[in-house]
Amino acid sequence: MAMAAKPPLGWNSWNTFSHEINETLIKETADAMVASGLKDAGYEYIVIDDCWSLRQRDENGRLVADPEKFPSGMKALTDYVHSKGLKFGMYSCVGTRTCADFPGSFDHEFIDAETFAEWGIDYLKYDYCFKPRSAHGPTLYRRMAMALRNCGRDILLSACNWGNDNTTEWIRSTGAHMYRSTGDIIDSWQSIKEIAQSQMAMQKFAGPYCYNDMDMLVVGMYGKSHNSWIASKGGCTTEEYKTHFSLWAMMNSPLMIGCDIRDMSEETKAILMNEDILAINQDPEGRTPYFCKEWDHEPDTVVHMFKPLENGDYALGFFNFYDDVCGGHVEFADMGLPTRGYGLQLYDLWEKKDLGIHTCKFSVTLPAHHCLMLRAKIVKL
Ligand code: GLA
């Protein structure tokens, strides 16, 4: 079955829990995915990141789930997640060890794919630490993709080599369904901004069946994490999380939630379950956005993005990266709209408000780090 026709949606343990994972957490997270409405909103994968196994393989060369963290075993946990109507994901690594120094899949790709298939997993995040220097990175992704594609289950491959080694030139051909096109995110505005800006030139490489992964969301973390590095900047404001979510949605990134979904504020729920923003991310055509000239004088401060949608509408995103209020206007002609006879019927996707029909241009003023997300219908005047 073809996977990742649309950017995958789910939750991953790393941002908040790092090594502090266990079966109770995963079960409660699966429960919360359903009870909170996230599942109905479209989120489907529950993914355990690094630190789930024992430090050594067993005598048959198989990976072993840590029995203290997962006393019922992985098959039982997968069954539980599946019983909730969700899919289950796990993590391994191209190298001899994972990034947190657990066994990696190097030279064990087929046996590990077999193990994952036996456990019933649906998704594999595949990292890039401890790659033997002589080994060829693309071949290692190809090998795991080949193993997964022949293991008897549909397992989505989420490659994670941070955009290193000219990933864009070879990743689609490996069979991966998404690939990390950036380094690791942390829970800070600076990190969100750097990742978003680095991805604008990368849009030409994104598309259905192999999306650019801008890394897991930090929406709703508010500085809470067992990983001191991820929490080190103290988190973001709700407005910054909205901007973050909007940017990831506009640029077709997979949306993998990174906060503790058992304990979300109303603001966090409203962001993660904004169905209009999710619809932009999940638009069936998966078109990449295009960018129009920036406002004002400062380079890289405010960015306009336009994304064609399947039904003829356009998503319009205005992002203020500047540390102060910033304003300006967009000329619809820059988007491609004729200067006469046509206008845009605008709808504000965060405020859920119709803004009426506009012709020629639209003026916006945004406070620092805010965004405006609109859906535009082309109307004949
Ligand atoms: C790398 C990845 C992260 C996370 C950690 C786990 O840094 O990029 O997303 O998986 O490894 O150790």
DSSP-derived 3-state class of residue 103: strand
pLDDT of residue 330: 87
3-class SS at 39? helix
Rounded CA separation 212/177 (Å): 9
Contact 315, 250 (CB under 8 A): yes
What is the model's pLDDT at position 297?
A: 46
For ligand 1, whether the C-beta of 213 sits within 6 Å is: no
Distance CA 245, CA 269 (A): 12
Q: Is 154 a catalytic residue?
A: no
- List Cβ neighbours of 117 (8 Å cut-off, separation of 6 or more): 151, 152, 153, 155
How far is C-alpha 323 from the geometric centre of its chain's CA atoms? Answer: 25
DSSP 3-32: --SS--EEEESHHHHTT---HHHHHHHHHH
CA of 360 to the centre of ligand 1 (A): 46
Closest CA to 178 of 7, 57, 306: 7
Closest ligand 1 atom, residue 100 Cα? 12
Q: Which of 66, 79, 154, 184 is catalytic?
A: 184
Minimal-distance CA residue to ligand 1 atom 9? 184
Q: Is 343 helix (H, G, I), strand (E, B) or coil?
A: strand
Instruction: Locate the ligand 1 atom nearest the alpha carbon of residue 183 and give its number.
Output: 8
For 223, residues 6+ apart whose C-beta sits below 8 A from its C-beta are 187, 231, 233, 234, 235
CA-nearest residue, atom 3 of ligand 1: 184
- C-beta of 49 in contact with ligand 1 (< 6 A): yes
Write the CB contacts of 25 (distance below 8 Å, at least 6 apart in sequence): 13, 17
pLDDT of residue 293: 61
Catalytic pick among 50, 112, 127, 260: 127
Mutual angle of helices 109-119 and 137-149, in 10-degree steps: 40
d(CA 93, CA 376): 42
**Residue carrying the six token digits 């598309």:** 207
How many CB atoms are located within 10 Å of the residue 263 CB?
A: 12
| Beta carbons within 8 Å of 80's beta carbon, 6+ residues apart | 26, 27, 30
Q: What are the φ/ψ torsions at residue 185 (nearest 5 degrees)?
A: -80, 150
Please give the Cα distance from 244 to 371 (Å, whole number). 9
Pairing of strands 156-159, 302-308: unpaired
State the pLDDT at residue 294.
52
Compute the 3-state secondary structure of the chain and give helix, strand, coil in percent, each to the nearest 5. Answer: 30, 25, 45
Q: Say what the pLDDT of residue 296 is.
A: 45
Give CA–CA dist 318/183, Å, rounded: 24
Question: What's the one-letter identity of residue 216?
Answer: M
For ligand 1, say whether the CB of 14 is within 6 Å of any of its atoms: yes
Q: What is the pLDDT along the chain (381 residues), one digit of tens a residue?
A: 789 999 999 999 999 999 999 999 999 999 999 999 999 999 999 999 999 999 999 999 999 999 999 999 999 999 999 999 999 999 999 999 999 999 999 999 999 999 999 999 999 999 999 999 999 999 999 999 999 999 999 999 999 999 999 999 999 999 999 999 999 999 999 999 999 999 998 999 999 999 999 999 999 999 999 999 999 999 999 999 999 999 999 999 999 999 999 999 999 999 999 999 999 999 999 999 998 765 444 555 778 899 999 999 999 999 999 899 988 788 899 889 998 999 999 999 999 999 999 999 999 999 999 999 999 999 999
Burial of 92 (0-12, 13-18, 19+ CB in 10 A): buried
Looking only at the bridges linking them, the beta strands covering 302-308 and 87-93 are unpaired
What residues have CB less than 8 Å from 24, skipping those under 6 apart?
none
CA of 109 to the centre of ligand 1 (A): 19
What is the pLDDT, as a whole number, of residue 298?
54
- Burial zone of 21 (CB within 10 Å; 0-12 exposed, 13-18 middle, 19+ buried): buried
- Mark whether 184 is an active-site residue: yes
Beta strands per DSSP E along 279-352: 290-292, 302-308, 314-320, 326-331, 342-348
3-state secondary structure of 316: strand
